[in-house]
C-alpha cells in the first residue's frame, strides 16, 4: 500500500514538473503575441520592408551601441542611418564602414557625407562586387538581410531584415568584417569551382542586334557627382536622364569641375 502511495506521489511530482517546463518553452500564450510589434523570436527579430520600418529599427540599434558599430554594405544612401552612425561616432563609439569600391560613383551615396563627418571608410574591391549587407554591434548584435541601407529598400522594395542577438554569430561576422577591413579577405574568384561554372546555362540561338543609343554629347556627368564618363560606361548608364550633364569634349567637363571616371578613363 505504501509503495503504491509513493508511486502516485512521484507520478504527480513528475507530471507537475513536465507542466512547468512546457510553460517555460512557450512563455507567451498566443493571445499575448501582438502580430505587428512582437516579431522577436529566440533573439531574432524578423522584419520586412516596406511595412516594418526597418530604417528606424536599425537606427535604434545603432543608438544603443556601447562600444562599436561595424558595417559592410553594398549600397548606402539612407540619411537617418548615416546620421545615426555620425551620432554614434560623436559619442565615442568605434564606427567602421566597408562599402563596395564603386560606391562613390552611385547617385545619392552617403560615402562622401560619412567621410566628411570623420567616419572610417574602406572601399572594398575584388573579383565581384562587395554585395554584403551586414552590421555588427558590440560583439552581440548582427543586422543582415537583403535590405541595403537605402531609401528604396526602406520605402519601395520588398526586402527582408534580421536583427540577431548572438555572441557566436557576431564573432563569425566580425571575423569576416576584419578580413575586409585589414585587406586580408580572399579573392573568391580563384576558388570558384570550374565544373560548377560550366553547368551555368548559356543562352544560345538568336542574338538580337543591340540598337546604338544616340547620345547628346561625347561625355556625360551627373548633377550629383563630380565624375564624367564615356556615355557607354556602366556608371554613366546609371545616371537618370534628368540628372545628366553633357559635354562635347574633356576640357569642357574639366572646366566645369568634373574629373574623369576611374573605370572608363574618359
Ligand atoms: Zn565611367
C-alpha angle with apex 181: 178 to 185, nearest 5 degrees? Answer: 70
Other Cβ atoms within 10 Å of 157 Cβ, number: 14
Residue-level pLDDT at 5: 57
Q: Ligand 1 center to residue 263 CA distance, Å?
A: 5
pLDDT digits (tens, 9 = 90+) for 169-210: 999 999 999 988 987 765 544 444 555 444 333 333 444 444
Q: Ligand 1 center to residue 160 CA distance, Å?
A: 32
Q: Ligand 1 center to residue 65 CA distance, Å?
A: 38
β-sheet with 244-247: strand ranges across: 244-247, 219-222, 227-229, 259-260
Q: Ligand 1 center to residue 232 CA distance, Å?
A: 8
Residue-level pLDDT at 9: 52
Grid coordinates given for 168: 557566436
pLDDT digits (tens, 9 = 90+) for 39-60: 567 789 999 999 899 999 999 9
Query: What ranges in the chain are assigned the alpha helix state H?
Result: 2-25, 54-63, 79-90, 111-116, 151-155, 167-181, 194-198, 250-255
β-pair partners for 134? 72, 144
β-pair partners for 58? none
Q: Would you say the pTM of this structure is higher than 0.85?
A: no
Tell me if 59 sits within 8 A of 84, measured CB to CB: yes
Tell me if 246 sits within 8 A of 220, measured CB to CB: yes
Q: Ligand 1 center to residue 35 CA distance, Å?
A: 47
Give all domains of the chain, ordered by start, each with its CATH number: 40-185 (3.30.870.10), 219-260 (no CATH)
pLDDT digits (tens, 9 = 90+) for 219-257: 999 999 999 999 888 899 899 989 999 999 999 999 999
- What average pLDDT does the chain have? 80
Q: Which residues contact 230 (CB under 8 A, 6 or more apart)?
A: 218, 219, 220, 236, 264, 266
Q: Ligand 1 center to residue 221 CA distance, Å?
A: 9
Q: Which residue has the higher pLDDT, 127 or 142?
A: 142
Q: Ligand 1 center to residue 217 CA distance, Å?
A: 15
Strand pairing category for 68-73 and 259-260: unpaired
Amino acid at each position: 500500500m505504501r509503495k503504491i502511495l509513493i508511486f502516485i506521489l512521484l507520478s504527480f511530482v513528475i507530471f507537475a514538473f513536465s507542466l512547468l517546463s512546457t510553460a517555460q518553452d512557450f512563455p507567451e500564450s498566443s493571445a499575448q503575441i501582438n502580430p505587428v510589434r512582437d516579431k522577436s523570436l529566440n533573439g531574432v527579430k524578423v522584419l520586412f520592408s516596406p511595412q516594418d520600418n526597418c530604417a528606424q529599427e536599425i537606427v535604434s540599434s545603432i543608438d544603443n551601441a556601447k562600444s562599436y558599430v561595424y558595417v559592410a554594405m553594398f549600397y548606402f544612401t539612407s540619411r537617418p542611418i548615416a546620421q545615426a552612425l555620425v551620432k554614434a561616432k560623436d559619442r565615442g563609439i568605434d564606427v567602421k564602414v566597408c562599402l563596395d569600391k564603386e560606391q562613390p560613383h552611385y547617385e545619392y551615396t552617403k560615402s562622401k557625407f560619412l567621410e566628411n563627418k570623420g567616419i572610417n571608410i574602406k572601399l572594398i574591391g575584388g573579383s565581384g562586387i562587395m554585395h554584403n549587407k551586414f552590421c555588427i554591434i558590440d560583439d552581440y548584435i548582427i543586422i543582415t538581410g537583403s535590405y541595403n541601407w537605402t531609401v528604396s529598400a526602406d520605402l519601395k522594395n520588398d526586402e527582408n531584415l534580421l536583427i540577431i542577438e548572438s555572441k557566436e554569430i557576431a564573432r563569425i561576422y566580425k571575423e569576416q568584417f576584419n578580413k575586409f577591413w585589414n585587406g586580408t579577405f580572399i579573392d573568391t574568384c580563384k576558388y570558384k569551382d570550374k565544373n560548377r561554372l560550366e553547368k551555368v546555362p548559356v543562352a544560345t540561338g538568336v542574338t538580337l542586334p543591340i540598337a546604338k543609343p544616340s547620345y547628346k554629347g561625347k561625355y556625360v556627368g551627373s548633377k550629383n557627382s563630380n565624375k564624367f564618363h564615356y556615355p557607354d560606361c556602366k556608371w554613366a548608364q546609371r545616371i537618370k536622364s534628368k540628372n545628366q550633364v553633357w559635354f562635347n569634349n574633356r576640357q569642357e567637363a574639366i572646366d566645369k569641375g568634373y574629373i574623369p571616371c576611374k573605370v572608363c578613363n574618359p
